Amino acid sequence: MRFQKKFFFIFLSLLSLFVTSSIPAQKKYKSRWSVAANLPVNQKLGKQPGVAGPFSGFINGELIIAGGSNFPDSMPWQGGKKIYWNDIYIMHINKKGKCSWVNNGVYKLKENIAYGASVQMKEGIVCIGGENENGISKKVYLLHGNDMNKKIVTADLPELPLPLTNLSAVGIRSNVYVAGGETDTGVSNHLFRLNIHQPAKGWIELAALPVEVSHAVLVEGDKDLGSFIYLIGGRKKNKNGISDIYSSVFEYDIEKNMWTKKKDMPYAASAGVGIGGITNNVLFIGGDKGETFHKVETLLAEIAIEKDEVKKQQLIKEKDQLQINHPGFSKDVLAYNIYKDEWRKAGQIPFASPVTTIAVKGGHKYYIPCGEIKAGVRTTQILVKK
């Protein structure tokens, strides 16, 4: 009898270990924010209005912020022209976390570009698509450091199958995955993969996205699993001028090449910042919930068909006031538990919340460089999340 009790106790202990090891600990993910630095002066302008849609990542341990767009002279509703840039800014971070700018203005991208996707790889930063004053691009290249002189150099990679801007991308091992984006004629539902170690194979088309989408977050799941990607939120521009904004979440199984619908976000949002590859959770940071965006789109559609000049000017004035009084974007940090298929609020950004930018990992911190904080308004801040 004593032996049976002892055996039963051992059995329960082993069962407990088995259950614990098969279900990962459900940690809560906390956010601590600060401003690492502000983008230095643009030498051509003699000032720095900030940029939206830059490429970003780390080369030789230094944060790279390249390209982007802004309205340096006046806002778009005042007739201001959007300017695209090819400047490369380099931020050095010392062992104590202090930041300083180095070699700014020395290196340039081959062309002005913004709103592409950039992916941090071991080899450097893969820069994909985007747009400029000449239209939408399908160019892809690797920014990396020259081993001999530590200069930043560019290596061309196979072009995308079609030009894409406001697309989403993620890198897993040697593969780069690209999802959605805007084209010359609409919005893409394509998913492509490129192995940067096998460039001759080019971009391979995979299972189509469940929706046509741009401005979405695309992130890797838990690195312990390593075979899932999450497509979160985003929007679709429609022919009537009014966009659909998504709250949807889809899980892509890399091995099965298959999409699965997951639990929606608490609300619809596009152009947010994503962080993946962390234990249990992926994060959706900020984003545009679309309240002001939809009102502006509606007014633009009405302006396009209004024939009465007095009424048209009234509508234009109303639209301009909406943009002038833009309240900014969501400051929420949402955490999605990939094991429980649950969303929760995990804090807020205590600063102006940027969209059309990305998060890049450096050490144990995540850096969010610049971005748009209101209609037409950029920020110079480089936020850091610990």
Q: Which CATH code is given to the segment(s) 167-289+329-355?
A: 2.120.10.80
Q: State the Cα–Cα distance between residues 319 and 376, nearest whole angstrom.
A: 13
**Residues in contact with 48: Cβ distance below 8 Å, sequence separation at least 6, in sequence order:** 38, 39, 40, 41, 42, 380
Residue 139 burial (CB count, 10 A): 18
Task: Look up the pTM and report it.
Answer: 0.90
114 φ/ψ sector (left φ>0, alpha ψ -120 to 50, else beta): beta
pLDDT tens over the chain, length 386 residues: 444 444 344 443 433 333 333 334 445 556 789 999 999 999 999 999 999 999 999 999 999 999 999 999 999 999 999 999 999 999 999 988 899 999 877 899 999 999 999 999 999 999 999 999 999 999 999 999 976 666 899 999 999 999 999 999 999 999 999 999 999 999 999 999 999 999 999 999 999 999 999 999 999 997 566 689 999 999 999 999 899 999 999 999 999 999 999 999 999 999 999 999 887 899 999 999 999 999 999 999 999 999 999 999 999 999 999 999 999 999 999 999 999 999 999 999 999 999 999 999 998 899 999 999 999 999 999 999 98
Q: Render 126-186 in DSSP notation, one character per residue.
A: EEE--EETTEE---EEEEEE-TTT--EEEEEEPPPSS--BS-EEEEETTEEEEE--B-SSS
For the record, the structure tokens of 32 come out as 């601590």
Where in the sequence of the chain do the CATH 2.120.10.80 domains occur? 167-289+329-355
